């Protein structure tokens, strides 16, 4: 335990501490040891990233794995961070911050600093800030130096004392971070950057956030500002995150990126999620639950204003889809199915958040790229969505992006047209007849005010397109027993095993009624699946 007297004896920077606003009383309350004072600004951080990118990459120091071998996943989940050492704990700040320790899973420490009035002090890390519950087998190893691998932002000061694991934002591992949505559940993750994700056989690169700076909040603010330095073999970058607790979570992100070497697939604002199976297609007896996924589709709002909905697949082999655009308005991985009975499990898939990227400024030409990787278990993240600029990402180039991340229960800017609902696949042909080869039946649901207000005698049409094959049995009807939904049916005739790209929307006369459903049909999807993930 660090007493007030010992802490004050620790540092001789009393005048600088006063400039930081860290009075002896505040220091005694938070009890964290702090290092020397230095000037700080986001502009300085950007300059640091630019300068560092001109030098060879130096891998960060790690704690030897043999020292951490006993801290397995089960032990790691039980490690307690002493709330007495929370950053912004027992102060007027609304959101206290605690830290994650090194473990057998995460053995690269990250520097942490606190900022106020453009002055920064690094937090002196100590394994003594952590402990294990009584009667828990094993002990934390004696480690000197940095031991923090990430951080979590808690809901309030009371939660710090009663439920210290109830965070609304956490950053942990490489450049990964996540937040709860408005339904109070974690799910998919975001990343600072994606480098060469499934690109021409090259190994994917996972740059690290190597240093975080926390701006001291002003009183009971509903936001927290965090800065980060990103570093990896191909890139160095400066990030500013403005974290806001709303009905869900909103994050404003500004980043300046500097490339050390050429990058083949340069993924901006990447998201990582899990999709095993849904109502669209499920292997026989693969699991007792009807659906298992953190996200079930990719939504896009294009630069020319079209809303697209692309249900996800769990393919037999890696698939990469690119949706070309110019200055996209937004995109994100969504969890559209919100009914518990669709999942029947106990881990809250129906409450998993959507993550929407709202672009800011001019992003130019490029594509939203969707990577789908085979998996046969829910423990693997196998879905990635990201923006990839058309301009080549070459060594020595600089890139600036600004965007807002919305962690919610639905798109923040939904289409005013009817929206896509469930997609279901079945055996093609007529009931009772022997199923013809190469024929698959599709049913897509739509709902929305524009359909509710149609005249009684209106007969909406399905406008269809396929990259190959032909259609028959096309019809649109109001869903029986549910006057709020319409559904479109068609049979797709296609031979061979190559994917078929599909597009569909509803119209009445010359009036467009719905957003556009797009899908990649995989004719070979009923075969056994290999175990993969990312």
Q: Tell me if 532 is assigned to some domain.
A: no
Residues 265 and 391 in one domain: yes
Q: Tell me if 530 is assigned to some domain.
A: no
Residues 255 and 321 in one domain: yes
**Number of domains making up the chain:** 2
Q: Mean pLDDT per segment of 10 residues, for the chain of length 534 residues?
A: 32 40 44 94 98 96 90 88 92 88 94 97 96 80 94 92 91 97 96 97 96 91 95 98 96 98 98 95 77 97 98 96 98 97 96 98 98 95 98 97 98 97 90 80 96 93 97 94 88 94 96 98 61 47
Q: Tell me if 395 is assigned to some domain.
A: yes
Pick from 408, 431, 461: which residue ends a domain?
408
Residues 469 and 397 in one domain: no
pTM: 0.91
Q: Tell me if 413 is assigned to some domain.
A: no
Angle at 380 between CA 109 and CA 191, to 5 degrees: 50
Give the span between the Cα atoms of 490 and 493, in whole angstroms. 10
Give residue 532's pLDDT: 47
Pick from 408, 432, 466: which residue ends a domain?
408
Q: Tell me if 519 is assigned to some domain.
A: no
Give the span between the Cα atoms of 180 and 311, in whole angstroms. 22
Residues 173 and 194 in one domain: yes
Residues 75 and 180 in one domain: yes
Q: Tell me if 104 is assigned to some domain.
A: yes
Give residue 31's pLDDT: 81
Q: Tell me if 534 is assigned to some domain.
A: no
Residues 398 and 437 in one domain: no
* CATH number of the domain within which 487 lies: 2.60.40.10
Residues 133 and 37 in one domain: yes
What is the distance of C-alpha 321 from the center of its chain?
Answer: 18
Angle at 288 between CA 285 and CA 290, to 5 degrees: 100
Tokens 């190559």, residue located: 498
Give the span between the Cα atoms of 517 and 419, in whole angstroms. 9
Pick from 362, 378, 408: which residue ends a domain?
408
Give the span between the Cα atoms of 19 and 41, in whole angstroms. 15
Give residue 80's pLDDT: 92
DSSP string, 7-39: HHHH---HHHHHHHT--HHHHHHH--EEEEEEE
Give residue 72's pLDDT: 86
Q: SS3 for 359-397, per residue? A: EECCCCEEEEEEEECCCCCCCCCCEEEEEEECCCECCCC
Residues 226 and 93 in one domain: yes
Residues 140 and 236 in one domain: yes
State which residues form the domain around 462: 419-514
* CATH number of the domain within which 223 lies: 2.70.98.10
Residues 404 and 473 in one domain: no
Angle at 270 between CA 269 and CA 272, to 5 degrees: 150
Residues 234 and 87 in one domain: yes
């Amino acid at each position: 335990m660090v007493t007030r007297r010992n802490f004050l004896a620790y540092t001789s920077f009393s005048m600088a501490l006063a400039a930081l606003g860290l009075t002896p009383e505040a220091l005694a309350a938070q009890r964290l040891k702090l290092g020397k004072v230095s000037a700080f600004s986001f502009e300085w951080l950007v300059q640091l990233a630019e300068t560092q990118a001109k030098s060879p990459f130096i891998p960060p120091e790690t704690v030897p794995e043999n020292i951490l071998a006993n801290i397995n996943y089960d032990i790691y989940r039980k490690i307690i961070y002493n709330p007495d050492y929370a950053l912004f704990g027992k102060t007027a700040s609304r959101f206290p911050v605690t830290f994650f320790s090194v473990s057998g899973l995460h053995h690269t420490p990250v520097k942490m600093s606190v900022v106020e009035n453009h002055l920064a002090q690094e937090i002196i890390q100590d394994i003594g800030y952590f402990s294990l519950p009584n009667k828990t087998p094993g002990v934390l190893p004696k480690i000197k130096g940095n031991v923090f691998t990430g951080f979590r932002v808690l809901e309030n000061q009371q939660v710090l004392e009663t439920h210290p694991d109830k965070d609304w934002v956490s950053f942990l591992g490489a450049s990964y971070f996540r937040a709860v949505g408005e339904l109070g559940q974690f799910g998919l993750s975001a990343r600072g950057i994606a480098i060469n994700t499934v690109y021409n056989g090259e190994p994917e690169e996972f740059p690290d956030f190597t240093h975080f700076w926390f701006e001291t909040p002003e009183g009971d603010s509903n936001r927290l500002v965090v800065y980060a330095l990103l570093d990896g073999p191909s890139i160095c970058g400066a990030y500013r995150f403005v974290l806001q607790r709303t009905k869900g979570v909103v994050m404003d992100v500004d980043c300046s990126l500097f490339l050390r070497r050429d990058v083949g697939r340069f993924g901006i604002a990447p998201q990582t999620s899990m999709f095993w199976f849904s109502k669209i297609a499920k292997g026989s007896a693969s699991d007792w639950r009807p659906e298992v996924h953190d996200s079930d589709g990719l939504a896009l709002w294009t630069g020319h204003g079209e809303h697209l909905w692309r249900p996800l697949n769990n393919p037999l082999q890696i698939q990469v889809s690119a949706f070309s655009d110019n200055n996209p308005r937004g995109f994100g991985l969504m969890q559209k199915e919100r009914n518990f009975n669709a999942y029947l499990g106990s881990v809250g898939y129906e409450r998993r958040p959507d993550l929407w990227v709202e672009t800011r400024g001019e992003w130019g030409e490029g594509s939203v790229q969707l990577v789908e990787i085979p998996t046969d278990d829910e423990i693997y993240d196998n879905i990635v969505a990201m923006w990839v600029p058309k301009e080549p990402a070459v060594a020595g180039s600089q890139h600036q992006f600004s965007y807002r991340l919305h962690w919610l229960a639905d798109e923040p800017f939904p289409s005013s047209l009817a929206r896509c609902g469930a997609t279901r696949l079945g055996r093609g042909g007529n009931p009772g007849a022997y199923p013809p080869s190469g024929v698959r039946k599709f049913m897509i649901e739509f709902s929305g005010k524009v359909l509710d207000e149609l005249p009684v005698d209106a007969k909406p049409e399905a406008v269809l397109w396929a990259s190959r094959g032909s259609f028959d049995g096309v019809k649109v009807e109001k869903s029986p027993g549910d006057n709020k939904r319409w559904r479109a049916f068609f049979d797709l005739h296609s031979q061979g095993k190559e994917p078929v790209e599909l597009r569909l929307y509803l119209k009445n006369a010359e009036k467009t009624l719905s957003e556009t459903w797009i899908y990649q049909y995989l004719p070979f999807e009923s075969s056994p699946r290999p175990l993969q993930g990312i």
